Amino acid sequence: MYTQAMDLGPKDEGKALKTAEEHQLQERFDARIDAGDFIEAKDWMPQNYRKTLVRQISQHAHSEIVGMLPEGNWIGRAPTLKRKAILLAKVQDEGGHGLYLYAAGETLGTSRDQMLDALHTGRAKYSSIFNYPTLTWADVGVIGWLVDGAAIMNQVPICRCSYAPYARAMVRICREESFHQRQGYEALLTMMKQGTDAQRVMVQDAVNRWWWPSLMMFGPPDAESPNTAQSMRWGIKRVSNDDLRQKFVDATVPQAELLGVSLPDPDLKWNASREHYDFGAIDWSEFWRVVNGHGPCNRERLATRVKAWEDGAWVREAALAHEAKRQAKMKEAA
Amino acid sequence: MSNTTAPKNEWPLWEVFVRNKAGLDHKHCGSLHAADPQMAIQLARDVYTRRQEGTSVWVVRSDQIVASDPGDKDMYFDPMEDKVYRHPTFYALPQEVDHM
């Protein structure tokens, strides 16, 4: 899973750097970025580089965690034991991905509880794709195929992010993620090739509902992403939103043909001169509506998260109390 | 590794090291939060070896790790740069004995 590049970053510090020393540190940092060096947690970095990363990594982590909810919805209703085991493994992976990412975020000096608090109080965003409901079993397959497919497209370039702890987390995530997309496509293929007419209609309906939100996962068009240039300069972002989106469309159209479903875009067609698929205009007003809290499931998702956190409070406290007691006993024995 | 001081109620941070298979060394693979050592080992297994990536796991409290100062990196490691005679390739030998 992935969070879209929403590009809502803090504005670059316009003011002049204060001291000669800071100036020198900045120059050294820029030179390292230019040389393709990785930045590690304890290295000096500009304030805004740190802020941008905390925002992006925590938003990414939140997306993994909230992303468990739409699919978790189907664990108890998966059609076979095999599909249930696969879905359980996938949802467990998403939890793990959230953990890797929170840990990467923590290296920047923000604790996990602080990041979670930002999510639970609505200050932090997560990918708007998870604010759509999973109405049928076909949705689970389509999430694997399209949503995880878009996520992988987005995430592979981040394996080369200049901030090393983030890049390392992404390498691990990408290695695990490819099964997510394949299992989804295979589940759909089974329904399309061996299923009933009703099942095929169900798959097509799910594709119709998820196609446009999947394209929105790559974030607003480049022209409306004022911070992209800075993120590219810093080596945090490697490929622009529009380029990634195009790559995703080009890769997905043949997969849809093989599957035997249509994509809900009358303007979708091969452009021989561009050697890419052209596609129709995206409804960005819907995107912003969902980002700003008015999607079909925003409230439900956040409420579920907050409830899980609050219901778990006594467990967290009890575990700490148990450890304090154990330590006291050890001291006594010593 | 983190330079964060955890708030009072947050479980402490642990670093996880995994041995991929017998014969290899343990390698750092990430971090996690756990209340006690036993839980840290258990979670390390669940989080970092879901695909048989390990045959052995170490965990250590992050605040127990002593690390070199990144600011001293050059001063600390550069003195070895000009000691090329520490490498076998520094010595040119006749071809007949060059496998030495």
Residue B18 within any structural domain of the chain: yes
User: Quick one: what percent of chain A has pLDDT higher than 90?
Assistant: 90
State the pLDDT at residue A254: 98
| pLDDT for residue B2 is more than 60 | no
**Model confidence pLDDT, tens digit, residues B38-57:** 999 999 999 999 999 999 99
Q: How far apart are CA A268 and CA A282, in angstroms?
A: 12
Q: Do A326 and B9 touch (CB under 8 A)?
A: no
Distance from CA of A67 to the nearest CA of B (A): 17
Distance to chain B for A31, nearest Cα, Å: 16
- Beta strand extents in chain A (DSSP E only): 269-271, 276-278
Within a domain: B29? yes
Which chain A residue lies closest to B68 (C-alpha atoms)?
Answer: A42
Is residue A229 very low, low, confident or very high in pLDDT (cuts 50, 70, 90)? confident
ipTM of predicted complex: 0.87
A86 vs B contacts (CB less than 8 Å): none
With an 8 Å Cβ cutoff, are A42 and B11 in contact? Answer: no
Reading phi first (left if > 0) and then psi (alpha if -120 to 50, else beta), residue B23 is in left
Percent of chain A whose predicted confidence (pLDDT) is above 70: 95
**pLDDT of the residue at B81:** 86
| Calpha distance A13→A206 (Å, rounded) | 44
The radius of gyration of chain A's CA atoms, rounded to the nearest angstrom, is 22
Q: Is A5:A241 a contact under the CB 8 Å cutoff?
A: yes
Selected for mutation to probe chain A from B9, B10, B20 (highest A CB count within 10 Å) is B10
Reported as a single tens digit per residue, the pLDDT across A4-31 is: 554 454 555 555 556 888 899 999 999 9
Residues 289-328 of A with CB under 8 A from B: 316-317, 319-320, 322-323, 326
Prediction pTM value: 0.91
Q: Is B24 on the interface with A (CB under 8 A)?
A: no
Higher pLDDT, A8 or A310: A310
- Summarize pLDDT for A150-202 with one digit per residue, the tens: 999 999 999 999 999 999 999 999 999 989 999 999 999 999 999 999 999 99
Mean pLDDT throughout B85-91?
94
In a domain, B85, yes or no: yes
In A, minimum Cα distance to B15 occurs at A103
Residue of B2, B39, B67 lying closest to A106 (CB–CB): B2
Contact A103 B30 (CB under 8 A): yes
- Asked, for residue B4, whether it belongs to a domain, the answer is no
**Given a cut of 90, is residue B7 above it in pLDDT?**
no
Tally Cβ neighbours within 10 Å of residue A77: 12
Span A135-153, mean pLDDT?
A: 97
In a domain? residue B35: yes
Report the range of poorest mean pLDDT among A108-117, A287-296, B66-75: B66-75
Of B4, B7, B51, B6, the closest CA to residue B29 belongs to B51
Pick B1 or A215 by higher pLDDT.
Answer: A215
DSSP for A257-314 reads: HHHT---S-TT-EEETTTTEEE-PPP-HHHHHHIIIIISSSHHHHHHHHHHHHHHTHH
Mean pLDDT of A235-243: 94
In-domain check, residue B62: yes
Chain mean pLDDT for chain A: 93
Instruction: Please report which helix (H) or strand (E) contains residue B18, including its range.
Output: strand B13-19
Look at residue B72 in the predicted model and tell me its pLDDT: 85
Residues of chain B positioned with their CB less than 8 A from the CB of A103 = 2, 13, 30-32
A204 contact partners, CB below 8 Å, separation of at least 6: A261, A262
Which chain A residues are closer than 8 Å to B3 by Cβ? 41-42, 107, 109
CATH number for position B75: 3.10.20.520
Radius of gyration in angstroms for the set of CA atoms belonging to chain B, rounded to a whole number: 20
Pairing between β-strand B13-19 and β-strand B26-33 as defined by DSSP bridges: antiparallel
CB contact under 8 A, B7 and A111: yes
Structural domain span for residue B54: 13-90
Say what the pLDDT of residue A210 is. 98
Percent of chain B with pLDDT over 90: 76
Asked if residue B25 belongs to a domain, the reply is yes
CA angle A243, A247, A253 (to 5 degrees): 145
Q: What is the pLDDT of residue A16?
A: 57
Question: Which residues from B are below 8 Å from A169, CB to CB?
Answer: 30
Is A179 in CB contact (< 8 Å) with chain B? no
Range A254-264 average pLDDT: 98
Q: Which residues of A touch B9 (CB under 8 A)?
A: 113, 316-317, 320
B10 torsion bin: left (phi>0), alpha (psi -120 to 50), beta (else): beta
Residue with tokens 């939100």: A213
- Give chain B's domain count: 1
Q: For an interface test with B, give the residue of A39, A40, A111, A179 to mutate (most B CBs within 10 A).
A: A111
Residue B52 lies in a domain: yes
